[in-house]
Structure 1
Amino acid sequence: MQVWAVANQKGGVGKTTTVVTLAGLLAEVGYKVLLVDLDPHGSLTSYFRYDPDELEHSVYDLFEQLQVEPERTRGLILDTNREGVDLMPASTALATLERRAVGKEGMGLQVAKALATQKQSYDFALIDSPPVLGVLMVNALAACNHLLVPVQTEFLALKGLQRMIRTIEMVNRARRNKLEYTIVPTFYDRRTQASVSSLRELHRLYEENISSAVVPIDTKFRNASLKGLVPSSLDAGSRGVHAYAKLLRNLLERRRQGKVDG
């Protein structure tokens, strides 16, 4: 099973949209996909019309005891309205996890352990991470084969990206295998100088890691969210879906060439 995490230490950059859109496109070509919501805000969970305030069981359960049991993990997984896509939801209880994790050993590997128990059931797992460096993001980074970093094409987002790059460097000092990452420019508007200059700066600073697929501002993403549908189900021909389809082709090609572990 390939595990891709989507993370950035800045909110509002398109993390959940990236997860949902890629999941829909993977399912369209026959892959079985598990989504994992590690954000206490539960945007991914809410997207598929589950209420993080009301769920009795969620990914939080993985942290209640260090022993991860396959059946218990399977019991956390919910159906979505997209065939081929399942969800391990978040609950608002995740917001208390940082405080409870203080001083506990092994808390950074719980998600990796849980996904290992499900590797025969899914081809891909996509993790939606919180925009804060803590035990939840550490779990996402420890579990993944490849990291996607959506970055809004505007100046302040570029400053936030620097923090994320430092985090990746820190993680790589602790990992046996280097964590490869792809920067995904989002919310691009070619009509504005701010977007154009920000994209140019991203290429200047991170040429080796930036995706050639640039995700434009696209109201179809909002429309899909309002209906709880993966964007390709609502409008497969939209500009945003085309951008993510290009990103996915590139990622799958890297995987075929062995440049993405797993």
Structure 2
Amino acid sequence: MIVWTVANQKGGVGKTTTTVTLAGILAGQGKKVLLIDTDPHASLTYYFGIDSEELDNSVFDLFLHKQNLSKEQILQTLCPTSMNNLDILPATMALATLDRRMGNQHGMGLVLKNTLDLLADEYDYALIDCPPVLGVLMVNALAACERILIPVQTEFLALKGLDRMMRTLYLMGRSQKKNYRYTIIPTMFDKRTKASLEAYKELKQLYQNKVWSNVIPVDTKLRDASLAQRVPSVYTPKSRGVFAYQNLLTYILQVDD
């Protein structure tokens, strides 16, 4: 199983859209894909019309029962989506209490990694959608993945937020003696505006080859797909947004090959 974490310590930069669109393309190619929602706001979960507050189990329960975590329990937590080959481990608002209730307990940083190890034979890919804050959930998501995908809106406030994310990767990498592989993805790019053009230029200057050489453009059809609760690659397969994400997927698979 290949695991990618989609993270940034700023909200509204396209994390959930990136997660859903890449997962949908992979599932459409016949790959078995698992989505993991670790954001207490549960945007990824609600994307598929799932109200996790009405479910018996969620990602929170995996942390609650981490000492005796079993494959059977994880499979009971899984929810199918409306798309073949695509399942989700749903989030719930209870995740917002995780750091306060259990953040200092032994073994809290590897719950997601242990979960995915138990499911390794069930899926080809797993994509983890992160909350925009550093805490036990992001620590878990970073520890569990092979590559981090960092969507960054092409505007200057988002570039400032990226500074925090890069600092986090540096500090965690040093403490864990691990070099994180990551790709910065320019999102919501509007070539008609000077702000987008200037932000993209600075992004490339600051982070150079860590920045994907293409962009995800502003595309209202991605938002329409969300409203329809369908993955963009099915709802609007010929849109420029989906085309850009297909190119992104090709790039990621090449650099990880």
Question: Could you tell me the TM-score, scaled by structure 1's length?
Answer: 0.96
Identity of aligned residues (%): 54
Any conservation in 2 of the 1:55–1:91 contact (CA below 8 Å)? no
Letter in structure 1 aligned against 2:65: Q
Work out the CA distance in 2 between the residues paired with 1:162 and 1:236: 34
1:225 paired residue number: 226
1:56-99 Cα deviation digits (max 9, x unpaired): 21000111133221111111111001111110000111111111
- Asked whether the equivalents of residues 66 and 110 of structure 1 are also in contact (C-alpha less than 8 Å), the reply is yes
- Residue 198 of structure 2 aligns with which residue? 197
Secondary structure at the counterpart of residue 232 of structure 1: helix
Unaligned runs of 5+ residues in structure 1 are: 257-262
Match of 2:36 in 1: 36
Give the CA deviation at 1:176. Answer: 4.4
Structure 1: 4+ residue segments shifted above 6 A: none
Distance 1:85 1:212 in 2: 28
- The match for 1:259 is none
Aligned to 2:105, the other structure's residue is in SS state coil
Q: 5+ residue gaps in structure 2?
A: none
Letter in 2 for 1:38: T
| Higher helix proportion (structure 1 or 2) | 2
Q: How does 1:130-169 map to 2 (within 5 A)?
A: 130-169=131-170
Farther off after superposition, 90-99 or 128-137: 90-99
CA–CA distance in 2 between the matches of 1:228 and 1:66? 31
| Aligned-partner SS, 2:104 | coil
RMSD: 0.9
Contact 2:60 2:95 in 1 (8 A): yes
Paired position in structure 2 for 1:110: 111
Q: Deviations over 1:108-140 (max 9, x none)?
A: 100000010001010000000000000000010
1:19 pairs with 2:19:
yes
Does structure 1 retain, via aligned residues, the 8 Å contact 2:109–2:136? yes
Residues of 1 paired with 2:240 and 2:78: CA distance? 31
SS at match of 1:57: coil
Give 3-state SS (helix, strand or coil) of 1:53's partner.
helix
Match of 2:63 in 1: 63
Could you give the per-residue CA deviations for residues 229-256 of structure 1, whole angstroms, max 9, x where no partner exists?
0001011111111111011001111222
Q: Which residue of 1 aligns with 2:247?
A: 246
Alpha-carbon separation, structure 2, partners of 1:42 and 1:95: 11
Q: Which letter maps to 1:187?
A: M
Question: How far apart are the structure 2 equivalents of 1:124 and 1:28?
Answer: 13
Per the alignment, residue 260 of structure 1 pairs with none
- CA distance, structure 1, for counterparts of residue 168 and residue 151 of structure 2: 15
- Does the Cα contact within 8 Å between 1:213 and 1:244 map onto a contact in 2? no
**Structure 2 counterpart of 1:65, which letter?**
H
How many residues align structurally?
256
Alpha-carbon shift at residue 175 of structure 1 (Å): 3.0
Partner secondary structure for residue 36 of structure 1 = strand
